[in-house]
Amino acid sequence: MNQNVTCPVCDAVFEVAENVELNELLTCPDCGSELEVVNLKPLEVAEAPQEEEDWGE
């Protein structure tokens, strides 16, 4: 059974697979924001931290 979660960026509600894992990265289907699963019970996501580009330095 899938679970619903609310995007913290645009407040869209979307389905997430039942077997989602802690710290898994998801993408909001409405706004495209990258989200990270921060809690499983209850299911909660937060905006994923942006990776810094090091450009090989």
Q: What is the pLDDT of residue 50?
A: 78
CA angle 5, 7, 14 (to 5 degrees): 45
Decide: 35 and 8 in contact? Cβ < 8 Å. yes
User: Of the CATH numbers 3.40.50.150, 2.20.28.160, 3.20.20.150, 3.40.640.10, which one belongs to the domain with range 3-47?
Assistant: 2.20.28.160
Asked whether 36 and 45 are in contact (CB, 8 A), the reply is: yes
Q: Which two tokens stand for residue 38?
A: 């921060």
Q: Each residue of 1-56: pLDDT tens digit?
A: 799 999 999 999 999 999 999 999 999 999 999 999 999 999 999 999 877 666 66
| pTM, rounded to two decimals | 0.83
